[in-house]
Amino acid sequence: MANIRLIEVKEEILADNDKVAAEIRKQLRSRQVFMLNLMSSPGGGKTSLIIETLRGLKPSMRAGVIEADIDSMVDAEKVAQEGIPAVQLRTGGACHVDAGMLELALREMDLAALDLLIVENVGNLVCPAEFDTGAARNVMILSVPEGDDKPLKYPLMFTICDALVVNKTDYLKMSDFDMEALKERVLKLNPNIRIFEVSCRTGEGIPAWTEWLEAEVEAFKK
């Protein structure tokens, strides 16, 4: 037994990822490109929020998108139809985006032409929370149909995020979703998180969200 060497695979993987993430963060800082890492469960409304966000940003804000999915290019095609430069990352089974994947995607983006770069992470509330991408801000979406108990089940995701977008608020009257209970649970985990209530279908709350994002990008560039 004394000759058996234990290798902590997860620790090694995360350490390597953090090194690449630090390089990405340094590169984007030098180019003054604000990268947002957007996470949620499948069907939370990431692509819909991205499109509504891009439509709501002031015209001078130059944006690009990196889409990540296990398979398909559907989301990247939707973004491209808005006239926004997009790159599709097909993870081939990986349930998250890591810094190495983003390093490849960034080579395909004209960073000199961007102020804001949004990464749509793979739909998952577990793995994406563990991998630093080099993003300036982490944001997660929780849709009303998912329920208000998600902070109890996936605390790490809520802990590492700078903002929470509660999407599909147009479903509130048709559900038992308790917004105040959600906020209490989230703020207990992360007192500094910003919470936005939006509906991508009706447009409710989108202006407040885009104003916050624009302010974060402008502060990043100073």
Contact (CB, 8 A) for 221 and 115: yes
Task: Please report the domains of the chain, with CATH numbers, ordered by start residue.
Answer: 15-221 (3.40.50.300)
Distance CA 188, CA 60 (A): 37
DSSP codes of every residue in 69-94: ESS--HHHHHHHTTT--EEEEE-TT-
Please tell me the predicted confidence (pLDDT) of residue 6. Answer: 46
Contact (CB, 8 A) for 220 and 32: yes
Please tell me the predicted confidence (pLDDT) of residue 99. Answer: 92
Contact (CB, 8 A) for 194 and 164: yes
Neighbours of 150 (CB within 10 A): 20
Q: Which of 128, 175, 143, 114 is nearest to 46 (CA)?
A: 143
pTM, two decimal places = 0.91
| Contacts with 39 (C-beta within 8 Å, 6 or more apart), sequence order | 46, 121, 124, 125, 128, 129, 138, 139, 140, 141, 157, 161
Please tell me the predicted confidence (pLDDT) of residue 5. Answer: 58
DSSP state of 122: -
Would you give per-residue pLDDT tens digits along the chain (222 residues)? Answer: 456 654 454 556 678 899 999 999 999 999 999 999 999 999 999 999 999 999 999 999 999 999 888 766 778 888 889 999 998 888 776 788 899 989 999 999 999 999 999 999 988 999 899 999 999 999 999 999 999 999 999 999 999 999 999 999 999 999 999 999 999 999 999 999 999 999 999 999 999 999 999 999 999 998
Contact (CB, 8 A) for 65 and 221: no
